[in-house]
Amino acid sequence: MLQDIEPYLACPHCAQDLTRHERSLRCPAGHSFDLAKQGYVSLLAGDAHTGTGDTAEMVAARADFLAAGHYRPIADALAAAAAEAVGDGADAGAGGGADGPRGLVADLGAGTGHYLAHVLDTLPGRVGAALDISKYALRRAAKAHPRIGAVVCDAWRPLPLRDACADLVLNVFAPRNGPEIRRVLRPGGTLLLVSPTARHLRELVAALGLLSVDEEKQRRIDEKLGPYLTPAGRQPVEFTLWLSAQDVRTVVGMGPSAWHTDPDRLAAALEELPDPVEVTASVTVAAYRRP
């Protein structure tokens, strides 16, 4: 619930602490943010916009695909890495001055909260902040787990979290803001980053003309995070999917290719695919630590 993460939140305008006043959060400077009836709060600065966020259609497609269990091996690998990163939870609540008794897991680009919920099931002593710019995604994230609080924010701006408040930051197929991730992680805290390899969905990329992944993606990620975090290991996760025609439509509709794929061309290309079609899922789960 949102109240579980309120001790970790900060005003997006002045970075001061936020406290609840009936149906809003306020800081000492007088900035106020209304709580949405769907269970999330928007902590966007006044000049920010949500035009780059996932649409309702993209969110619905992602929810359907993930609920079907297609990416369960990724969720399991992430949860196992999270349990290893934070240990047995004995230090929960050591989140750099947060007053609450639990430690914080922040998911940057959380989407529907699917992966964060899976991690929290593995870490019963933690609470989770689902951070995303899409209100459609956060309506679902707010209900994905009883220990999730959902917050609308922009990943490329200062995050509405207190300094050194998070034991763990998750980043799954999402934008990465190295300086801000370092700021919100406590010393010794871990970023777990899931990114696709060049082999991810390769059969669909070739057949449907989808956006492809650069062979140098992991190297570029390491370079961008290098000034802020220290690499602490990585794990490849690769498995085979058997997808129906509807599954293929869904996986295309939930990702960045949804912005660039013509529906008529996609429908024609799908007619040429076997049903079901064998597809490779391939990602890297990489850990980075704040020194």
C-beta neighbour count of 62 within 10 angstroms: 24
Give CA–CA dist 268/279, Å, rounded.
19
Whether 153 and 130 have beta carbons less than 8 Å apart is answered as: no
Give CA–CA dist 184/96, Å, rounded.
9
Pair type for strands 277-289 and 148-152: unpaired
Total domains, the chain: 1
C-alpha angle with apex 288: 114 to 106, nearest 5 degrees?
35
As to burial, measured by CB atoms within 10 angstroms (0-12 exposed, 13-18 middle, 19+ buried), residue 158 is middle
Distance of CA 107 to the CA centre of its chain: 5
How much is the pTM? 0.91
Domain harbouring 264, CATH code: 3.40.50.150
Peptide bond into 263 cis (omega under 30): no
What's residue 90's pLDDT?
Answer: 39
Give CA–CA dist 75/182, Å, rounded.
23
In a structure prediction context, what are the per-residue pLDDT tens digits for the chain, which is 291 residues long? 898 999 999 999 999 999 998 899 999 999 999 999 999 999 998 666 665 678 898 899 999 999 999 999 999 999 999 999 998 543 444 343 444 446 999 999 999 999 999 999 999 989 999 999 999 999 999 999 999 999 999 999 999 999 999 999 999 999 999 999 999 999 999 999 999 999 999 999 888 887 788 888 889 999 999 999 999 999 999 999 999 989 998 888 887 765 666 777 777 888 888 889 999 999 999 999 999
Provide the terminal-to-terminal Cα distance of the chain, rounded to the nearest Å. 30
Distance of CA 199 to the CA centre of its chain: 21
What's residue 95's pLDDT?
Answer: 40
Give CA–CA dist 211/257, Å, rounded.
6
Range of the domain at 24: 2-289
What's residue 97's pLDDT?
Answer: 40
Whether 11 and 157 have beta carbons less than 8 Å apart is answered as: no
